[in-house]
Amino acid sequence: MIDIKLIRTQPDLVKENIKKKFQDEKLPLVDEVFAMDKEYREAKTRCDYLRGRRNAISKQIGGFMAKGDKDAAAKAKQEVADVAKELQELESREEVLEAEIKKRMMVIPNIIDASVPIGRDDSENVEVERFGEPVVPDFEIPYHVDIMEKFSGIDLDSARRTSGNGFYYLTGDIARLHSAILSYARDFMIDRGFTYCVPPFMIRANVVKGVMSFAEMENMMYKIEGEDLYLIGTSEHSMIGRFMDTILPEEKMPLTLTSYSPCFRKEVGAHGIEERGVYRIHQFEKQEMIVICKPEDSMDWFVKLYMNTVDFFRSLDIPVRTLECCSGDLADLKVKSLDVEAWSPRQKKYFEVGSCSNLGDAQARRLGIRIKGENGNYFAHTLNNTVVAPPRMLIAYLENNLQADGSVKIPEPLRGYMGGKLYLSENQKG
């Protein structure tokens, strides 16, 4: 949610930003908010005057009664009643206007950073940099499910019977590898100075509305029937919500946190849930990183966060590239976003394994997260990024570490989490 002062003072800037995001249907909202805000402030000013007038007249009534001037007292009482009636009407109008303004402000997109490339959708995202040499081996790379099945590591048929498409059972060494990657990601981020957290996996509606747009909420979140609770789609939601309605000391900035959680997503609007794959699924686990910082530091942290993911993947011998999201591909709360994509030697292309986002003060403004500075309080900036999200990351890992004999190399950082093994091979099925 943007600062309403921008609509009061720079409505054309807000409209131009909407155009850059190719959301012209939202342009009328700016004029509507401008007009409603003007009426709201006028009503508020009038209410303040009427309250003062009511108090002044009320004090006079006692004096009139003491003097025996009943006519003057009656006239004053009538004026108080008239003032009270007008005040009640204006206060009701204030409430209506405030709600209508907020409803519109919640869907007006955040102001994107000047560096964001302009484009309609993800087909116009821009490659930034590549890390590691993408290799296509001289032997065939099987589909990732086929690799897992050779190690008796996945059972999709049973999951389909118990839960439906988009779910899976991981078993044996593949399940152990899944956990090893998450444990390594946790320790990787702790070594980089981040504080490890395990948050609640369900959050209330006011937190959901504070951290994401309504469209995202409807397409992603699972609602717990009969309760004011949603299953989290990512731990960022719960982690940012932790600081709602708080004032954070400036000297403690930035807060650098890394959190583990399962994640649950409807995947509405996805191009179908694969029946055999684990690329797009309803349930997965993730290690996330979250930063709450001063506004002037957020762009530096944006670079640091996505480079953490790059470094993590490179430590596991996986080539990656960074891809800047264009204006039309940015969620409404985001100022800037960049995807980290891993190389798939089977598909001979990169695919998304993580997303880094700078949300400016949008989440902080919705949730009331402020920093206490020398010259007063101000809204914090919030950022988040994926460290790793298996089992999707397993696809990149297995394809890039598969050997010609069908074994899978275990890079040095994972060996301690895998019982010292150097390779997974079929005769070591779990």
Regarding whether 59 and 141 lie in a shared domain, the answer is no
In a domain, 116, yes or no: no
Q: 177 and 71: one domain?
A: no
Neighbouring CB atoms inside 10 A of 24's CB total 10
Please state, in angstroms and rounded to a whole number, the distance separating the CA atoms of residues 203 and 416. 35
Same domain, 9 and 91: yes
Residue 157's pLDDT is what?
Answer: 93
Q: Does one domain contain both 318 and 366?
A: yes
Residues 245 and 304 in one domain: yes
Question: CA-to-CA distance for 380 and 364, rounded, in angstroms?
Answer: 6
| Number of residues that this document lists for the chain | 430
| Together in a domain, 94 and 128 | no
Please spell the DSSP secondary structure of 124-164, one letter per residue: G-EEEEEES-----SS----HHHHHHHTT-EEHHHHHHHT-
Based on the fold, state whether residues 268 and 297 are members of the same structural domain. Answer: yes
| Token pair belonging to 233 | 């789609």
Interatomic CA distance for residues 235 and 331, integer angstroms: 17
pLDDT of the residue at 430: 45
Residue 114 falls inside a structural domain: no
Q: Are residues 290 and 375 in the same domain?
A: yes
First to last CA, the chain: 50
Residue that is last in its domain, among 57, 73, 105: 105
Indicate the number of domains in the chain: 2
**CATH assignment at residue 65:** 1.10.287.40
What's the order of all strands across the beta sheet hosting 369-373? 246-249, 369-373, 376-379
Among the listed residues 17, 2, 10, 11, the one whose alpha carbon sits nearest the alpha carbon of residue 31: 11
Q: What is the pLDDT along the chain (430 residues), one digit of tens a residue?
A: 899 999 999 999 999 999 999 999 999 999 999 999 999 999 999 999 999 999 999 889 888 888 888 888 899 999 999 999 999 999 999 999 999 999 999 999 999 999 999 999 999 999 999 999 999 999 999 999 999 999 999 999 999 999 998 899 999 999 999 999 999 999 999 999 999 999 999 999 999 999 987 677 777 899 999 999 999 999 999 999 999 999 999 999 999 999 999 999 987 555 455 557 888 889 999 999 999 999 999 999 999 999 999 999 999 999 999 999 999 999 999 999 999 999 999 999 999 999 999 999 999 999 999 999 999 999 999 999 999 998 889 999 999 999 999 999 999 999 999 999 999 987 654 4
Asked if residue 345 is part of any domain, the answer here is: yes
Last residue in a domain, options 70, 105, 140: 105
At 303, the amino acid letter reads: V
- Judge whether 113 lies within some domain: no
- pLDDT at residue 269, as a whole number: 52
Q: Give the whole-angstrom CA distance, residue 288 versus residue 354.
A: 9
Query: Is 303 within a domain?
Result: yes
What whole-number distance in Å separates Cα of residue 217 and Cα of residue 9?
Answer: 31
Residue 110 corresponds to which tokens in the numbers above?
């955040």
Flag whether 197 is in a domain: yes
Range of the domain at 89: 4-105
38 with 153, same domain: the answer is no
Domain assignment present for residue 127? The answer is yes
Check residue 62 and give its pLDDT.
85
Within a domain: 115: no
Domain boundary among 58, 80, 105: 105
**CATH number of the domain encompassing residue 332:** 3.30.930.10
167 and 307 co-located in one domain: yes
In this structure, are 101 and 165 located in the same domain? no
Residues 93 and 135 in one domain: no
Note whether 207 and 184 are within 8 A (CB).
Answer: no
Structure token digits, residue 306:
């996505």
